[in-house]
Structure 1
Amino acid sequence: MDQKVQEKVSEHWVSVLVKEIISSTKPPFTVASGITTSGPTHIGTASEFIYPNAIVTYLKNKGYDVRFIFIGDIMDAFDAIPKPLEKYKDKLEPHLGKPLVHVPDPMGCHESYGDHFLAEAVGLMEKFKVYPEIIKNSDLYKQGFYDKYATLYLKQRDKVRDVVFESSLREKKGKEYENWYPIAPICEKCGRISTCTVTGFDGEYYTYKCDKDVEYTKGCGYEGKAKISDHNYKLIWRVEWPSRQDFLKVTIEGFGKDHATRGGSADTASAVHRLILGREPPFYYRYGFFLLGGKKYSKSKGIGLDVNTVIKLMPPSVIKYFIYRADSQEDKNFDPTGQNMLLIYEDYEYASTLTQPIESLSRADRKKRIAYEISGERQWKAKYLDVLLHYQIYRDWEKVKTILNDREGVEYLKPFIQYWIENNFVPEEYSFSINPKKPEDMKGVIEFADKLKEGMDQLEIHNLVFDTAKSLNIEPKMFFKSLYTAIIGKDKGPKLGKLIAAIGPTRVKEILYQFK
């Protein structure tokens, strides 16, 4: 294997990217990202601030000056009512096709629909301890930042059109090509942006018709004209993106792999930078999709967990670790089952113990160490599973804090465990209470109790179960079943040695002796 390829394989993705950034781009660095606030934020859209935050954090840890900006694309057209908001259909449907910033907030607490969900995203960033500079693209349009680009693209329409079509692998013929313009006007009469077609530009005014049928809404038929300086337009995405990268002096920006496909918007942005704006594009990197049960998250289709739900299941630092630990370009299939989430907790807790010099760690552990360092420090000492197990046994938080000798940590984890229990996320084997029932087969139960001694650890107890079964010629599987039934009234549960050690051998002996 080539040495450079070998180094990339053995390093965490963020360290590889930062090395490439430092070697190809001069500081100070401006890292950019953004989202279209078309509905509630789920873990898929959260990636738009979580991934760049990893790069920002790593660069800052290396002593570099970094500006982190996050664009709220609230000038985009409102093109669908997300499933969670269908109860507001009567309020929202008349505004389909308008810029999100011009759609009323159905909850009535923000200036617009776009502002509402941008504020929600910002609130989530704060919970994840991600603090970029927030910029609304509606403000950038109002302040005229895009005007010189819109004028340039209109005056050089033929050249810009060819660059866009060639870079997006579209044929340079037909109505789409002939009617292409770099701007999308906002209709002066009905306020829609998705239904307007530019019909001409005379060097000062552009003319348009509001006549398109875009399936979810139709134009009103109005014909009008306006100046770029009226700020009642939006650049189409493939030229808007490189324009703002230029005037905001963006040096680093990432995107999902849908933008990174051949002929995607990243190819067009690079071409516009080089062939129209006469500069090199920013350093681009890409990241994979977030999947739920193998399906891509989608706000409009209601696929994906609301991030407000996810952060009730796991602390933000653990969620970030889940995202950061694998290669950034890999799709992340989030499986919100208790068993899967326990594995994520355990891996994060393991990574927190990797405090030795990084060069002494294995390749896999180096990656985990870096993922942990950029995710956030662990706020508890006891293992999450131990806290869950002990609470199921004692149902008394004060007792759990005392037994595990981690008062602050248990208090920190308390709301997550309560949410798991109340919403049935606890795996079946960990969903129990002390509920003794006499087993159908008592063979070996009392003999096991006789040999059980205070001070035994979970491995010694586990071995005692097998030794007792072997000495009495009992099928181990059936003996485990008898002991689980006698202690928790179920056929199975947590690892038996761990369970008995947590309850305490003395108390377990008392439970078992009642069946003498």
Structure 2
Amino acid sequence: MTDPQMLRAAALESKAWPYEEARKLIKRYPEGKPGGEAMLFETGYGPSGLPHIGTFQEVLRTTMVRHAYEEMTGLPTRLVAFSDDMDGLRKVPDNVPNKEMLGLHLGKPLTRIPDPFGCHESFAHHNNAMLRQFLDQFGFLYEFVSSTDYYASGRFDGKLREVLRNYDAIMGVMLPTLRAERQATYSPVLPVSPKSGVVLQVPVEVLDAEAGLIAFEDEGERITQSIFGGQAKLQWKPDWGMRWAALGVDYEMYGKDLIDSGVLGGKIAAILGGRKPEGLIYELFLDAKGEKISKSKGNGLSIEEWLRYGPDESLAFYIYREPKKAKSLHLGLIPRAIDDYWQFRGNYAGQEVAQRLGNPVHHIHNGPPPAETLPVTFGLLLNLVGVMREASKEQVWGYLANYVPGATPETWPALDALIGYAIAYVRDVAEKPVRRAPEGVEVAALKRLDAELAGLGEDASAEDIQNIVYEIGKAQFGDLGGFAELRDWFKALYETLLGTSQGPRMGSFIALYGIENSRKLIAEALAKA
């Protein structure tokens, strides 16, 4: 157990990015927030489409900064997950049912549009529920806030009144950023039509700032209406700044595509008596084609898709790494993320405090990870399942029981879960193995490997087998010569025995799959030569 003072001292010196971000908050309030108030972290979510990993990563990364701040200061914090669910639906997403029905409600607040899935009060309630379900599953500590609830309940009334009082100043911030034709109709305040229920993009006249009264034209009629009680909302950029000021947000990260919007939001927050929060500007996730992930297009991985083939921790690990670097996000990344996560987790126990704080698993688990390690890699499991063709968990455990004496699903629960992921990944995602015929020196090398394995007992260690494989790769075979480079031998083994371009340590694979089974693979390969 690490001494808390030692941990705090190491955290204050750590270069891991969550601690670097937390230092911004210490600089913001060196003595802590006035009155002992909790440092407020916020993440925003626009529920116009189904939640995706790009949404989830903001909550995860923000939670990591939050925990880092707590480790460094011991001071209280809060995390608000804010849903802009009063926003008007601009277009029908591509990845939802009942598109025609949604098309009838374009422009209306998302909480006033029927759920196309037919299971929630509104479209926003459905998407909000999906987000919360996953955040709860992962164990996040957060407070969910609905924009609709805050507008309707009067929680924003004080700042909305300030918006009307400072209407000209806010227009002075926004108008220079707009095209001439947009300037002519722009208003930071968007009234909700009493006729159609649509969030209107129309000019407004401030009649009485204190009473919250505005006037606007709606279907040819001049309407006088209050902006309180959910009868209006703000354009999203002014809304962002208003929210920062109204809630007293201290930290919010966002993507580089929102840099300019963040600057405008900060100016508006200052006009309204608030202060722009600290935050990390991160790079965006890209799909397999290198295009920006979009909720409406549904071109990114869903949270459910990743978790079909990998555990929570693998997703968190991938999200943790290099937040300021653009990264692709597709199913092919999952095996590497799983194995890298477990490698870092295995290193944790033997590291000094400073190294632990720089280890991704410390931030994924908000402290020391569970003690369980793995006797095999996920990559090795994929290769085993791949050569077995159709495998069950019980069959895979049959091989593992020989490789790891006494291993059972009960003694290795994380491994048992990974076997399930491996079976699913090979079945649904991995390319079907195509084993090519060996040629040239490869034939002689495989014959030599078969002979060497024939002389071993089934209890031969992975290391002993690996040494044999290594020596064969360095050997010469008479007139045939040998391999130009050792990696050519390993590549030949992967392509002729496993049907893949990359693979595991062959000593480990042969020990796991069994010597007799491995000799059968060699025989099948040689029969093609």
Contact kept in structure 1, 2:19 and 2:69, CA below 8 Å: no
**SS of 1:253's equivalent?**
coil
Q: Does the C-alpha gap of structure 1 residues 491 and 331 become closer, same or farther in structure 2, counting only changes over 3 Å?
A: closer
* Residue of structure 1 equivalent to 2:84: 73
Which of these residues, 191, 204, 207, is aligned with residue 201 of structure 1? 207
- Whether the aligned pair in 1 keeps the contact of 2:202 and 2:217 (CA below 8 Å) is yes
Amino acid in the other structure paired with 2:378: Y
Of 330, 335, 341, the residue aligned with 2:334 is 341
In the other structure, the counterpart of 1:18 is: 22
- 1:350 and 2:354 correspond: no
Shift of 1:232: 0.8
Give the count of matched residue pairs. Answer: 482
Pairing 1:224–2:223 present: yes
Q: Is 1:318–1:375's contact at 8 Å kept on the other side of the alignment? A: no
- The residue that corresponds to 2:162 in the other structure is 152
Which residue identity lines up with residue 247 of structure 2 in the other structure?
A: L
Structure 1, gaps ≥5 residues long = 1-6, 211-219
The alpha-carbon distance between structure 1 residues 271 and 386, as it changes in their structure 2 partners (threshold 3 A), is same
| Contact 2:387–2:498 (Cα < 8 Å) also in 1 | no
- Counterpart Cα distance in 1 of 2:479 and 2:380: 32
After superposition, the C-alpha distances for 1:134-180 in whole angstroms (9 at most, x for unaligned) are 011100011112222222222332222213346xx458xx5644654
Unpaired stretches in structure 2, ≥5 consecutive residues: 1-10
Mark the CA change 1:375 to 1:315 in structure 2 (over 3 Å): closer, same or farther.
farther
- 2:195 is matched with 189
In structure 1, the residue matched to 2:142 is 132
Q: Which amino acid aligns with 1:103?
A: I
Scaled by the length of structure 1, what TM-score is found?
A: 0.82
CA RMSD of aligned residues (A): 3.6
1:347 and 1:446, CA in 2 relative to 1: closer, same or farther beyond 3 A? closer
SS at match of 1:303: coil
1:40-66 C-alpha deviation (Å, 9 max, x unpaired):
112122223122111122233443311
Q: CA deviation at 1:198?
A: 2.2
**Conserved? CA contact 1:444–1:469, under 8 Å:** no
Out of 294, 297, 306, the residue aligned to residue 293 of structure 2 is: 297
The AA in structure 2 aligned to 1:449 is: D
1:456-467 to structure 2, matched below 5 A, reads: 456=461, 457=463, 458-466=465-473
Q: Which deviations, in whole Å up to 9, do the C-alpha atoms of 1:401-429 show, x marking residues without a partner? A: 52343631222213321221221x2356x
Summarize the Cα distance change of 1:136–1:488 in structure 2 as closer, same or farther, 3 Å threshold.
closer
| In structure 1, C-alpha distance between the alignment counterparts of 2:261 and 2:85, rounded to whole Å | 19
User: What corresponds to 2:45 in structure 1?
Assistant: 35
Q: Contact 1:461–1:500 at 8 Å: present in 2 too?
A: no
- Any idea what SS the aligned residue of 2:253 has? strand
Alpha carbons of 1:481 and 1:93: their partners in 2 closer, same or farther (altered >3 Å)?
closer
Partner residue in 2 for 1:389: 383
For the 8 Å contact 2:362–2:369, the answer to whether it is kept is: no
Residue deviations 1:165-206 (CA, integer Å, cap 9, x gap)? 46xx458xx564465433100111111104444255245431
Match of 2:95 among 70, 75, 84: 84
Deviation by residue 1:372-397 (Cα, 9 ceiling, x = unmatched): 55498466523212333333455313
Match of 2:424 in 1: 419
Q: Would the aligned equivalents of 1:465 and 1:480 in 2 still touch at CA under 8 Å?
A: no
CA distance in 2, matches of 1:483, 1:141: 64
CA deviations 1:448-502 (Å, max 9, x no partner) are 3332223252421322432555357355499879877985689996554443232
C-alpha distance in 2, partners of 1:176/1:150? Answer: 23
Q: 2-side partners of 1:55 and 1:491: how far apart?
A: 39
The CA deviation string for residues 255-280 of structure 1, in whole angstroms up to 9 with x for no partner, is: 222222xxx22112222233x23343
2:316 counterpart residue number: 320
| 2:197 counterpart SS class | coil
Quick check: 1:50 aligned with 2:57?
no
Aligned letter for 2:427? E
Q: Aligned residue for 1:215?
A: none
CA distance 1:8–1:331, change in 2 (3 Å)? farther
| Residue 282 in structure 1 maps to residue 288 in structure 2 | no
Bigger shift: residues 33-42 or 9-18: 9-18
Matches of 1:351 and 1:500, distance apart in 2: 25
CA contact (8 A) 2:266 2:275 kept: yes
Given the superposition, is the C-alpha separation of residues 265 and 513 from structure 1 closer, same or farther in structure 2, using an over 3 Å criterion?
closer
Q: State the secondary structure of the residue aligned to 2:145.
A: strand
- What is the one-letter code of the residue matched to 1:366? G
Residues 186, 202 of structure 2: 8 Å contact kept: no
Q: Secondary structure at the match of 1:83?
A: coil
Deviation at 1:83, TM superposition (A): 1.0
Change in 2 beyond 3 A, CA 1:249/1:444: closer
Is the contact between residue 351 and residue 372 of structure 1 (CA under 8 Å) also seen in structure 2? no
> Could you tell me how far apart the structure 1 residues matched to 2:360 and 2:469 are?
31
